[in-house]
Chain A
Amino acid sequence: MIGTRKTIHKMTAKEKILSNIKDLQLPSKALPLVPIFEGLSDDKHSFFLETLETLGVEVIISEDKAALAQLVAERAEEGPVYSPISELGYTNTLENTEMADLNLSVIEGELGVAENGAIWVEGDALTERALTAIGSHLMIVLPYQKVVWNMHEAYTYVEPRQSGYGVFISGPSKTADIEQSLVKGAHGAKSLTVFIQK
């Protein structure tokens, strides 16, 4: 028995999902415009520093370029340091296991957000993306001028697509998963130092 062969097109998941949606012919809803909104005070820098303090961040402000190198050299006495900032001189290549033993990673921040203390870090400027979380302690170097008010303003500068991986970091990693008790140092850094270069 040879019948005529029917071509049965079995819809792929993609076709099925898209046709389910298309068949609904939902009426179009307008996309709203998003304002930038005003800041919460007249002084965004003070606000930023206060927010960092409430997040438990150690802040160092310095006009002296050599101060950073000196600080990192001091911290290097505590344990292994890595930094993609070549001037600091801690740029040996890294295996995953070596990264896990890092006491301190020093990375560059691109932009600080006053309303929430978050600092944008472009992951691809780092040798290894995991440097944002893996060291026991983290230091972010941020130029004083690069502070904006809020997230709306931040996204007018930040282009997450340009760096394949980027992250807003606000404070040391933390958890409150055991009876709502706040503990600093979950999986990422146990402490965060922000070095603000004036």
Chain B
Amino acid sequence: MSTQYKNHPAGAKAFNKNPERVSWHDKALWFVREKRDKATHGIPEWEELREIAAQIKAHTLSHLDKYLLQFEEQAQANGIHVHWAKDAQEHNDIVLSILQKHNVKNVVKSKSMLTEECSLNPHLNQHDIDVVDTDLGERIVQLAKEHPSHIVLPAIHKKKEEVGELFHEHLNTEKGATDPTYLTRAAREHLRDKFLQADAAITGVNFAVAESGGFVVCTNEGNVDMGANLAPVHIACMGIEKIIPKVEHLGVFLRLLARSATGQAITTYSSHFHKPKGGKEMHIVLVDNGRTEQLSRDDFRKSLNCIRCGACMNTCPIYRRSGGHSYTYTIPGPIGSILSPGKDLKKHSSLPFASTLCGSCSDVCPVKIDIHTQLYKWRQIIMEETNYDPAKKLSMKMAGKAMGNPKLFKMISKVGNTFLKGPRVLIYNPLNTWGIKRELPVPTQTFDDWYKKNNS
């Protein structure tokens, strides 16, 4: 598996060893962000839609027990088997037991961040079940023995030369081939065989509708419609926050999702599953795994609004320049950094600091999660409850003292000004990270001098 860095700075440092790649990664994601802008500006009611979506989510979360029960009842009436799992282990065991009951050996899986969160694949592999990820980006990272670095664009960190190498090794494509069309077609043929041989299909869920007892999965590739429709058993895995009350609400969320994710008006396939085809089985696993705990946190409840569009990643200046693998959680970027501390405060303590708090993530979020505010709130909790970065803690304490003492502050700012005018080696050296790859501004006067001059 890909290297799990101990914290975000370590991962970011590793990614930044290759500045050209950083710049390429940054531009690739900014391109997606710009497509998102173009798509959203074409919709006059965009802001109203965001507000409605946020309100639907807030309403649903305030009655989540009721909607989960309604969903279960309606889904069962449709002939779907409904399972409940309180954590990752239970989820994995449920999926395994369904597969074992049907003697399943070959599974095709479409994109599901939940199954990544639960580490389902290794669990099934241990029991001699082969799982093939069928989303092209996910297949690429699976062959590379890595994890997705982005929730919508899992292989955004990979260059076509690297994909060509992988496919040459695993799919017998020509050595040195890098043409995306050629490589995609090779994957199409390779995965067609897998679809036809599969005994079961596992999919994620974008939206589950309480009133109708069905669910919607969105793809561009059509892998859900191939997998789930060909295999005799379809298992859909979802976090309990994916529930929405009514069918009409799909209109709101489907308009928001693809525009926010890739700048498309809608994904190529928006597939609605309500009943299994005669002779086949459909299962749905409802998973908590920390979600009810997050629901209990007033300051962080709204993070459960997330519809996994990835817009906050594409816009984030830190994500774009540090790469998805620098984050210690399955879901990288700003949203992952507010979801993960609630799961393991110590392990993910560096993530809320992987932000400039510029607020761009909150601005693009289609369900109006106050991401940057939550990042700031997690920082406070982490500094109080963990021993994260004692040097930072000390420097903040000292800064607090200095700012609370006008005499001290005046003195320090004078010294600082002199310092910035002094010999370059004092500022531009490896010990001062603020001086790496940029010129610091040299002020002509201290703030205090400026204030006195302009207010006398």
**Chain A residues in the interface with B (C-beta under 8 A):** 12-14, 16-18, 20-22, 24, 26-32, 34-35, 37, 40, 51, 96-97, 100, 113, 115-118, 123-124, 128-130, 132-134, 150-152, 154-156, 159-161, 163-181, 183, 185-189
Contact of A13 with B84 at beta-carbon distance under 8 Å, contacts A31-B245, A171-B268 already known: yes
State whether B288 touches A18 (Cβ < 8 A): no
Stretch at the interface among B50-58, B315-323, B388-396: B50-58
State whether A169 touches B269 (Cβ < 8 A): yes
Residues of B within 8 A of A154 (CB): 251
Residues of B within 8 A of A181 (CB): 160, 180-181
State whether A152 touches B251 (Cβ < 8 A): yes
On chain B, which size bracket covers the interface?
35 or more
State whether B229 touches A132 (Cβ < 8 A): yes
B17 to chain A, nearest CB (A): 21
State whether B184 touches A170 (Cβ < 8 A): no
State whether A34 touches B62 (Cβ < 8 A): no
State whether B226 touches A26 (Cβ < 8 A): no
Nearest to A151 among chain B residues (CB) is B251
State whether A178 touches B266 (Cβ < 8 A): no
**Interface membership of B362, Cβ < 8 A:** no
**Interface membership of B68, Cβ < 8 A:** yes
Interface residues of B in 233-284 (CB under 8 A from A): 240, 245, 247-252, 254-255, 262, 264-277
Kindly identify which residue among A32, A166, A177, A183 contacts B140, using a CB–CB cutoff of 8 Å: A177
Bound: A69/B184 CA distance, A: 33
Bound: A97/B340 CA distance, A: 44
What are the 3 tightest A-B residue pairs by CB atom distance, in nearest-first order?
A188-B222, A164-B275, A116-B265
Residues of A within 8 A of B48 (CB): 35
Question: Could you jot down 8 A-B contacts, CB within 8 Å?
Answer: A13-B85, A31-B55, A32-B52, A96-B196, A150-B251, A173-B269, A175-B137, A183-B181
What 14 new A-B contacts, CB under 8 Å, besides A132-B269, A151-B252? A13-B84, A34-B248, A40-B42, A96-B196, A117-B266, A155-B247, A164-B78, A164-B277, A165-B272, A165-B277, A167-B270, A177-B135, A178-B136, A180-B153
Residues of A within 8 A of B269 (CB): 132-133, 167-169, 173, 188
State whether A188 touches B268 (Cβ < 8 A): yes
State whether A180 touches B265 (Cβ < 8 A): no
B288 to chain A, nearest CB (A): 5
State whether B134 touches A180 (Cβ < 8 A): no
Residues of B within 8 A of A170 (CB): 265-268
| Interface mask (B73-95 → A, CB under 8 Å = 1, otherwise 0) | 00000100000111000100000
State whether B273 touches A161 (Cβ < 8 A): no
**Interface membership of B47, Cβ < 8 A:** no
Nearest to A163 among chain B residues (CB) is B274
Contact of A187 with B265 at beta-carbon distance under 8 Å, contacts A30-B59, A31-B56, A133-B229 already known: no
Nearest to A31 among chain B residues (CB) is B59
Residues of A within 8 A of B378 (CB): none
Bound: A17/B274 CA distance, A: 24
State whether B65 touches A22 (Cβ < 8 A): yes
State whether A186 touches B136 (Cβ < 8 A): yes
State whether A189 touches B181 (Cβ < 8 A): no
| Interface mask (B204-243 → A, CB under 8 Å = 1, otherwise 0) | 0000010011101000111101100110000000001000
A64 to chain B, nearest CB (A): 30
**Chain B residues in the interface with A (C-beta under 8 A):** 28, 31-32, 42-45, 48, 51-52, 55-56, 58-59, 61-65, 68-69, 78, 84-86, 90, 134-137, 140, 153-156, 158-160, 163, 180-181, 183-185, 188, 191-192, 195-196, 209, 212-214, 216, 220-223, 225-226, 229-230, 240, 245, 247-252, 254-255, 262, 264-277, 286, 288, 292-293, 295-296
Bound: A79/B180 CA distance, A: 26
State whether A166 touches B229 (Cβ < 8 A): no
Contact of A130 with B275 at beta-carbon distance under 8 Å, contacts A24-B295, A167-B270, A178-B155 already known: no
Bound: A19/B270 CA distance, A: 33
Nearest to A172 among chain B residues (CB) is B268
B254 to chain A, nearest CB (A): 5
A36 to chain B, nearest CB (A): 9
State whether B136 touches A161 (Cβ < 8 A): no
Residues of A within 8 A of B266 (CB): 113, 116-118, 151, 168, 170
State whether A187 touches B191 (Cβ < 8 A): yes
Contact of A117 with B136 at beta-carbon distance under 8 Å, contacts A165-B271, A180-B28 already known: no
Residues of A within 8 A of B68 (CB): 17-18, 21
Nearest to B185 among chain A residues (CB) is A185
State whether B220 touches A186 (Cβ < 8 A): yes
Bound: A14/B221 CA distance, A: 34
State whether A100 touches B192 (Cβ < 8 A): yes
Nearest to B49 among chain A residues (CB) is A37
State whether B134 touches A130 (Cβ < 8 A): no
Residues of A within 8 A of B225 (CB): 129-130, 132-133, 167, 188
